[in-house]
Structure formats: structure tokens, C-alpha cells
Amino acid sequence: MSGIVTIGEALGLVLARRAGGFDLQSEAEMSFGGAESNVAIAAVRLGCEAAWIGRLGDDAIGNRIRRTLRAEQVQLHATIDPDAPTALMIKDRPRPGHSRVTYYRHGFAGSRITPADVPSDVVAGADVLHVTGISLALSDSAAETVLSAVRLAREHGVTVSFDVNHRSKLWSAEQAAPRYRELVALSDIVFAGDDEAAMIVGGGTPLEQARALQALGPTQVLIKRGEHGASGVDGELELEVPAYRVDVVDTVGAGDAFAAGYLVELTRGGTLEQRLLTAAACGACACRSDGDWESQPSWGDVQGLVEGSGDAVLR
């Protein structure tokens, strides 16, 4: 195995087709989501080998997730839990333009992952191990699984990538910040929104926040700023890039696309500028359609956006 290896939770998604809320209407679509599986799918679509490690229930949703990941050519290392179902999120719209998400994940299969579920050779043979703060919040065993995999990666010289991905419905900022700082210190690359960076190191400009996070241990820190672009540091280098302008349909999955674009360019030896510009283009592409994983872009999607903007990013 080489390329990008991700570890995390994938969960079913029930999505309302029209406004009104599930207390008033019943039309829905079925899919799935998960930050780490999104990154794996995006990496493959961008031409990089990628694997996903996780735990799923022995049920229809788990089967759907496995089938889709295989169809997307993601290398799959899924432990099947016979005693707990696959987690679920329900997303409805009580009124037009307003979404409401309800999670059913504590005690479900993804939260029951253990270090024994992680193939050590897959982690040790990767170019990059990518994890998120979501796993830290799910359960003690999920947190220990991620930390164990990160330590293993570091022992074998594998680059460790950490996306904060704070979920306020899982835990408070006060609970999360110390655990995030612990994982930041073990990582080589850190992705954070400016609000997430503020939670960990306080305020300041995006580049000041990046430097403060860098002081905790990582070499590379990327601050995602949505429509305002992105800021990054790599060693002594600093760079800020603007966002690509697109008609936004849904921002879900954009941060995962950003991370995947950055990491794929990293595996190809791209400069900080190439990494950040490609990441920004991937994030913008993901905003142009619905879906967690469905909206993840291909190289063709990104190239079309870049050529339309007049910039030259892809080689």
C-alpha cells in the first residue's frame, strides 16, 4: 500500500427531498457520509491510491457503504460488527434554506472501532495517514484507535495529516481543545478552519493562527477560510490564496475535498502554492453539487474550473 490511508467513521444518511421536516413529510433519499471516507474517495478520483479503515454494522447501510467504496476503487479495510448497527444521520429541512441534522452514532459500529481493527501493515506502508477530530469525540476506543495508528505511522516515517473537523454536537469546545492539541502535536500536517484554530490557539490573523499551531509540532498548517480562501505555512514558507468563485449548491464535503486535493499534490511533490491552489479548487468544485461523497471532484472537474479561472494549477 502507498498513497493516502484514512481511518474513521462512515455513517448512513437519510436526506429529506423537500422542506417541511420529517415530522410533517416522508420523502427522502438514502446515501452515506463520513469525512475520512470522503477524503479517500476524493483522493482516488484525483488519481491517487487511497484506503479507508473503519468499522461497520452487518446491515444494509454497512453493505451500501462497502459497495460504494469498492465501486469508487477505495481499498477497503472494514471490520464487520455483528453486535451494533452502522451509525446514521438524518438531515431534514424544517423550512426552506434551513437544514437540521440529527445523529445516531454513540454506541454504534463506527464508535466501537479498536486498535485491533487497524491493519498495521496498511498504515506502515502509506505515504500519508489522514485522521480527523471526529474520531476523538466518538468514544474512548475510537480515540485510542486513532492515536495508536498515528504513533505507528510516526514510527515508520509515514506523514501524519490531521483535520480538526470539530463537531459541536459531539462535544464542547472546552472538552475538545486539549485533545486536539494532543493530536496536533503528533501530526506533520494540520487542517483547521479559522474558528477551529481559535479554539486551539486563540485569535489572530489566519497566518498568525497557522504559526501558533505550527509551534505545537506540525511542519505544515492550513487554515481553511471558505469563501475567503485559505492560508498556509510549510516550514518558513507562508502563502495565502483566494477562493475560486462558484455557484454554491451545498458546502458539505468541501473541507474534505480541500484536504484531499492538498494531500494528493503533496504525494506528487507539489510546491506549497500548487498544493494550496489545487486544494482550493477541489473545495470549490465540491460546493457545486449535493452530497457528501457524491460531490467530490475528479481531476477533470478541477481542471475545468481552473482553466475557466485563467489560473494554472494542475500538471
* 250 labelled catalytic: no
**In a structure prediction context, what are the per-residue pLDDT tens digits for the chain, which is 315 residues long?**
579 999 999 999 999 888 888 988 889 999 999 999 999 999 999 999 999 999 999 999 999 999 999 999 999 999 999 999 999 999 888 887 777 889 999 999 999 999 999 999 999 999 999 999 999 999 999 999 999 999 999 999 999 999 999 999 899 999 999 999 999 999 999 999 999 999 999 999 999 999 999 999 999 999 999 889 999 999 999 999 998 988 888 888 899 999 999 999 999 999 999 999 999 999 999 988 888 899 899 888 998 888 876 555 544
Strand ranges of the sheet holding 11-16, from the earlier edge strand across to the other edge: 28-33, 11-16, 88-95, 98-104
Mean pLDDT of the chain: 93
Catalytic pick among 163, 256, 292, 301 = 256
- Give the DSSP per-residue string, 46-58: TT--EEEEEEEES
CB neighbours of residue 21 within 10 Å: 13
Distance of CA 140 to the CA centre of its chain: 20
Alpha-carbon distance 50 to 184, whole Å? 22
The CATH number given to 4-8+35-82+118-311 is: 3.40.1190.20
Q: What is the pTM of this model?
A: 0.94
Q: Is 82 helix (H, G, I), strand (E, B) or coil?
A: coil
For 122-280, where are the E strands, in sequence order? 128-132, 159-163, 189-193, 220-224, 230-234, 237-241
Q: DSSP letters of 185-208? A: HT-SEEEEEHHHHHHHH--S-HHH
State residue 311's pLDDT score: 57
